[in-house]
Amino acid sequence: MDKIIIHGGRPLAGTVEVSGAKNAALPLMAATLLTPGWHTLHNVPDLRDTRTMLRVLETLGAVWQRHGSTVRIDTTGLTGAEAPYELVKTMRASVLVLGPLLGRCGYARVSLPGGCAIGARPINYHLRGFANLGVSTTLARGYVEARADTRLQGGTIYFDKPSVTGTENVLMAAVTARGTTVIKNAAREPEVGNLVDMLVAMGARIEGRDSDRLLVHGVGGLAPAEATIIPDRIETGTYLIAVAATGGRVRITGCRPDHLPALTDKLRAAGVTIEQDETSFTVSCPEHGGRSSCPLQSVDITTLPYPGFPTDLQAQFMALMVLGNGVSIIHETIFENRFMHVAELQRMGADITIDGASAIVRGVRPERLCGAPVMATDLRASASLVIAGLAAAGETEVSRIYHLERGYEKMEEKLRRLGADIRRVRE
Ligand code: EPU
């Protein structure tokens, strides 16, 4: 297993290019199952999770080719409709094959993902959504077996809470159902919009993109499509926060600033200077040494579905608030166990108290944050430890970095080009 070693306290400077969004690539890859033929996806990040999704598709009989960031997938020769436990346990987003398999074959067998480091994360909304389209599901030996005896039938689905993959799964099942499906309280994340665009390019009829009410008029057939994955807003946000934490000036290119309204608002409130145009950010913040004259202000955040503050940036923002001037209350409303990074940040000198779903972060002076050996527990927690390590004095060792590889393309390389002292070593 590899670990990352960081010598912190260096400002970041230069330009960094954002990769395609993991959480958009995964549903778009799954959508290729809906209809036979070669589909072409551009800007697909090369990550552990996208490779796992390719393995899931292969298991189902698909073939694929990658040229740079373009991935072509042919799902003509489907040989099965089962996503096995061995793959689903390494990536719960494998459940995204349920919707398209139901749409194409009327049958799918997918391992239940089980719990996860950040919460229980059930898939009951997905299953209830399918039931409203005429699908019956049974659970046997840890697998969900979903079956529709006739063509799926449009229905009305209401999500108790907006669910990103729940909305995507039901959308994919509904596009070829007979009649109209209404999804109420749908997730409005940009990744859902990216999937809607691909489905429309395949011939689907969908109204309400970017709203919480999606209307799907079922069509008789679909055709293979070409689509481009949107830039990763969470990767973008992670670099914005990293620069705020270390100080320096960085241009972040190939991104969508309009997909990060809550983060940019909070960073500006904290005193970070951010300029933006349609596809890039320039972020600057005084260096550590200058902090006493220009301190980072503590601000509060509450994680919420889009366009609220993303839960996937909560851990990284907390690493920044550790250096704030004042007290920051960080309220996590999406996942019940997403504070695993707190104990690790405390090992580096952070002053954080957890009170139920809130973390109270009392800022410490930058010189009080010290490098330490820390352990990554999930993808975004790992990114928060890297940020803390970049800002801290001395050496930080982040172990279990396979979590990072799930969602950040070439992170050490990108940070090194910005001047960070960061390297990967074998443990
Ligand atoms: N929920 C249920 N039942 C369900 C589905 C969701 O109770 O059937 C609850 C969840 O427990 C949670 C809330 O609804 O409290 C919202 O969860 P959601 O379904 O939106 O999460 P997800 O679709 O499983 C996606 C991302 C996550 C991201 C969340 C929230 C993908 C592949 N994953 O997960 O990304 O945190 O939305 O925005 O799109 C990450 O990239 O690190 C990551 C965890």
Question: Does the pLDDT of residue 85 top 70, yes or no?
Answer: yes
Please give the positions annotated as active site: 116
Domain boundaries, position 313: 2-19+231-426
Kindly report the protein residue whose alpha carbon is nearest to atom 35 of ligand 1. 312
Average of per-residue pLDDT across 384-409: 95
| Strand pairing report for 327-331 and 358-362 | antiparallel
Q: Which atom of ligand 1 is nearest to the CA of 335?
A: 15
- Whether 166 lines ligand 1, by a CB cut-off of 6 Å, is yes
Let me know whether 151 and 78 are in one domain. Answer: yes
Let me know whether 188 and 257 are in one domain. Answer: no
Let me know whether 240 and 322 are in one domain. Answer: yes
More confident residue, 112 or 350: 350
Average of per-residue pLDDT across 349-367: 95
Last residue of some domain: 205, 228, 251? 228
Question: Does the pLDDT of residue 386 top 70, yes or no?
Answer: yes
Let me know whether 285 and 222 are in one domain. Answer: no
CA of 165 to the centre of ligand 1 (A): 7
**Ligand 1 test: best mutation among 88, 121, 130, most atoms within 8 Å of CB?**
121
Let me know whether 238 and 215 are in one domain. Answer: no
Let me know whether 297 and 195 are in one domain. Answer: no
Let me know whether 15 and 91 are in one domain. Answer: no
Let me know whether 81 and 6 are in one domain. Answer: no
Q: How many domains does the chain have?
A: 2
Last residue of some domain: 173, 205, 228? 228
**Ligand 1 test: best mutation among 52, 110, 161, most atoms within 8 Å of CB?**
161
Last residue of some domain: 182, 207, 228? 228
- Whether 238 lines ligand 1, by a CB cut-off of 6 Å, is no
CB atoms within 10 A of CB 194: 23
In total, the chain counts a number of residues equal to 427
Average of per-residue pLDDT across 83-89: 92
Predicted TM-score of the model (pTM)? 0.97
Question: Does the pLDDT of residue 290 top 80, yes or no?
Answer: no
Q: What's the CATH number where 151 sits?
A: 3.65.10.10
Mean pLDDT for all residues in the chain: 95
Kindly report the protein residue whose alpha carbon is nearest to atom 10 of ligand 1. 121
Establish whether the linkage from the previous residue to 261 is cis, with ω within 30° of 0. no
Let me know whether 6 and 44 are in one domain. Answer: no
Angstrom distance (rounded) from CA 410 to CA 287: 25
What is the per-residue pLDDT for 115? 64
Let me know whether 273 and 187 are in one domain. Answer: no
Backbone φ and ψ of 271, nearest 5°: 105, 10
Average of per-residue pLDDT across 131-143: 94
What is the per-residue pLDDT for 289? 52
Let me know whether 273 and 326 are in one domain. Answer: yes
Let me know whether 150 and 243 are in one domain. Answer: no
